[in-house]
Amino acid sequence: MEKLIFHRDKITDLDAFKALCPFGAIEEKEDGSLEPNAACKMCKICVKKGPFQAAEIQEVHSERPHVDKSLWNGITVYVDHVEGKIHPVTYELIGKAKELASVINQPVCALFLGEGITKEAEELRHYGVDEIYVYDQPELKEFRIEPFTGAFEDYINFRKPGTILVGATTVGRQLAPRVAARMHTGLTADCTILKMNENTDLVQIRPAFGGNIMAQILTPDNRPQMATVRYKVMNAPTRSDVKTGEIFSRKASEDKLQSGIEVLEITEKPKETFIEACDVLVAAGRGVKKPEDLAMIEELAELLGGQMACSRPMAESGWVEAKRQVGLSGRTVRPKLIITCGISGAVQFAAGMNNSDTIVAINKDPKAPIFKIAHYALIGDLYDIVPKLIEEIKSRGENTKDEEEAV
Please write the tens of the pLDDT for every residue from 246-260. 999 999 999 999 998
Mean model confidence pLDDT for the chain: 91
- Pair 215, 75 in one domain: yes
Tell me, yes or no, whether 268 lies in a domain: no
Please give the DSSP secondary-structure letter assigned to residue 240. P
| Lowest-pLDDT choice from 190-194, 249-253, 263-267 | 263-267
Give yes or no for a contact between 157 and 128, defined as CB atoms under 8 angstroms apart.
Answer: no
- Pair 87, 146 in one domain: yes
pLDDT tens for residues 315-342?
999 999 999 999 988 889 999 999 999 9
Domains in the chain, number: 3
Nearest to 341 by CA among 401, 279, 383: 383
- Pair 30, 85 in one domain: no
- Pair 359, 385 in one domain: yes
Cα–Cα distance measured from residue 119 to residue 121, given in angstroms and rounded to the nearest whole number: 5
- Pair 80, 204 in one domain: yes
- Pair 77, 49 in one domain: no
- Pair 108, 166 in one domain: yes
pTM score of the predicted model = 0.76
Residues 6+ apart with CB under 8 A from 341: 282, 283, 284, 285, 287, 288, 297, 362, 382, 386
